[in-house]
Chain A
Amino acid sequence: MSSLRRTRSVALTVAWRGLHNAFTNPALLLPSVLFPLFFFTAFAGGLSGISKAPNFDFPSGYTSFQFVFVCFQAAAFGGVFTGFSIAADFEFGFARRLLLAAPNRGGIVIGYALTAMTRAAFVLSIVFCAGLITGMRVDGSVANLVVLFLLAMATSAVSTLWAAGIAMRLRTLQAGPLIQMPIFILLFLAPVYVPLALVTGWVHTVATYNPVTALLEAGRGLISGAPTKTAIAAVCLAGLFGLVVLWARGGLRSAERAG
């Protein structure tokens, strides 16, 4: 069997197991579905009044504006929840057996990433339907939405590799806060509630250089049918992907050394 086929075989097996666990255990699936739905409801419903603030300019409406944030948040948290599963696999000894059995260990990480991306796609489809039911305006074309979806999937892969790097280094569920806090902070240090121009203070400075800002602006451009900064968002994701691949590979090596 070639190296590529072995990797694919391991990745698909790990992904299948992860998806089977997630979709047959409501306690694992429900939080990843309910949290984005809840944030969508709370932000789009409770804060919509802010769209009447001077210089708030987003013609597609505040629900669409918030949908894009929730979309990337759901994608990123798909990776976070998968990171929890990796940590649990190590804590309960399954991952060690997996490391022994897998002919290509890189395939394990790819498998986890596939799990996260599939979970994120499932959650995104539910949030999207919820948005449409509550009157969300989609001014972008189908092609625009496909690009938005691809950006979200890439975000999910990046967050999974970040989470995998932490989980494989610490190999305990206590790594949970360390997995999710940086992602949570990165997401919220971006123009979440209003366009960047209306964000004030030090958060404006941080948000200007935060790659999540590029993602949100690209996503909001795509959903409103006026694509902007899509290439910058793609470049940011590619750069982050390169970094987290190295990070996850280091984590895998650390887990291998620990036996």
Chain B
Amino acid sequence: MSRALLRSPTLNQVGLLARRAIVRTSRQPAQIVFPVVFPLILLAVNASGLSAATKLPGFPATSYLDFALAVPFMQGALFASLNGGQDLARDIQGGFLDRLAMTPMSGTALLAGQLGGALFMGVVSAVLYLLVGLAFGVGIAAGVGGALVLLVLAITISFAFACFGTFVALRAGSGEAVQGFFPLFFVLLFLSSAFFPRNLIAQDWFRTIATYNPVSYMVEGIRSLVIKGWDGQALGMAFGIALGAIAIALFLASRALRTRLTRT
């Protein structure tokens, strides 16, 4: 059965395209260093700059570093969406997609293969953020099993954002458009409970936005494993929203791909 699967043309195509995406990403140091280093710098700065917040009554952690460790995972996911989308947009602009369209390659393989590079970056950055956090004394309240679940959740979220990046690239077909969408994703992160717990946000309007912002629940899912332990509700919300986002984005991306291949 497994040999038959390996010989499956679709899997072979996915493998080839994923390999291409990973090699291309790994050959562009700027695409690896900046997305990985920038969230860590911001984490270090925020951990010192906002440490006074831990003295507020009701703050859920004794160290701001523990509280904020979830943020780099989200920022890494955002950069994965940007890079994945931009690579695909470059393929569209450079005519690579047109040439692929003339081969018998299936649309599913094309989408899955393109997302391979972004998923690779998601895995690398998630492992690195966890290791850096542990090296600087962050304790995972949910233990070793919790750390593994944290990685799975972070990679799922990263994949969800990468799917949206892919959809934007397929829909617009230009790198500028993907770049233009990036601030929107970034706004979603900053208008969430990423930097402050929702119950302590003083401005009502901001707390309302953070409550309706799905990114808040993704952050809180990761955070719950670090500072609380096993919190089924937080994890259920985070996984549910991430998987829902993947389903919606993949549906939109596959429709956009069909339209683009029809045009070709």
Contacts and interface: CB of A to CB of B under 8 A. Distances in A.
B45 A189 contact: yes
A52 B200 CA distance: 10
Nearest to B42: A188
Nearest to B41: A185
29 contacts: A35-B183, A38-B183, A38-B187, A41-B191, A42-B187, A42-B190, A42-B191, A46-B201, A46-B203, A46-B206, A47-B50, A47-B195, A49-B53, A50-B50, A50-B52, A50-B53, A50-B56, A52-B56, A188-B41, A188-B45, A191-B49, A193-B49, A198-B51, A200-B48, A200-B51, A201-B48, A202-B44, A203-B44, A203-B49
Given A177-B30, A198-B52, A45 B45 contact: no
A169 B206 CA distance: 43
Contacts, number: 90
A46 B210 contact: yes
A34 B206 contact: no
Interface of B: 30, 34, 41-42, 44-53, 55-56, 176, 180, 183, 187, 190-191, 195-196, 200-203, 205-206, 210
Interface string A25-69: 001000100110011011001111111111110000000000000
Nearest to B199: A49
Contacts of B201: 45-46, 48-49
B183 A202 contact: no
Contact of B48 (A45, A51, A177, A203): A203
A194 B203 CA distance: 17
B39 to A, nearest CB: 12
Contacts of B206: 45-46, 48
A257 B56 CA distance: 58
Contacts of B44: 202-203
A67 B46 CA distance: 18
A192 interface: yes
A50 B44 CA distance: 18
B190 A50 contact: no
A49 B203 CA distance: 8
Nearest to B180: A27
A236 interface: no
Contacts of A49: 53, 56, 196, 200-202
Interface string A217-240: 000000000000000000000000
Interface string A167-202: 000000010010000000100110111100011111
B50 A45 contact: no
A78 to B, nearest CB: 17
A46 B190 CA distance: 8
Contact of A192 (B41, B47, B49, B203): B49
Q: How large is the interface on A (under 10, 10 to 19, 20 to 34, 35 or more residues)?
A: 35 or more
Nearest to B58: A49
Given A45-B206, A201-B47, 12 more contacts: A27-B180, A38-B190, A42-B191, A45-B203, A48-B201, A48-B203, A50-B52, A50-B53, A199-B49, A202-B44, A203-B44, A203-B48
Contacts of A41: 191
A204 interface: yes
B99 to A, nearest CB: 26
Nearest to B49: A193
A45 B205 contact: yes
B185 to A, nearest CB: 12
B202 A52 contact: yes
A62 to B, nearest CB: 8
Contact of A177 (B34, B45, B49, B200): B34
Nearest to B47: A201
Contact of B51 (A48, A51, A177, A201): A201
B50 A193 contact: yes
Contact of A194 (B30, B49, B195): B49
Nearest to B197: A49
Contacts of B203: 45-46, 48
A45 B192 CA distance: 11
A50 B196 contact: yes
Contacts of A52: 56, 202
B33 to A, nearest CB: 9
Contacts of B49: 188, 191-194, 199, 203
B71 to A, nearest CB: 12
Which of B55, B201, B203, B205 has the most C-beta atoms of chain A within 10 angstroms of its own C-beta?
Answer: B203
Nearest to A198: B52
Contact of A53 (B42, B45, B47, B56): B56
Contact of A34 (B34, B42, B55, B183): B183
B135 to A, nearest CB: 15
Contacts of A189: 45
A192 B45 CA distance: 9
B175 to A, nearest CB: 12
Contacts of B52: 50, 53-56, 194, 198, 200
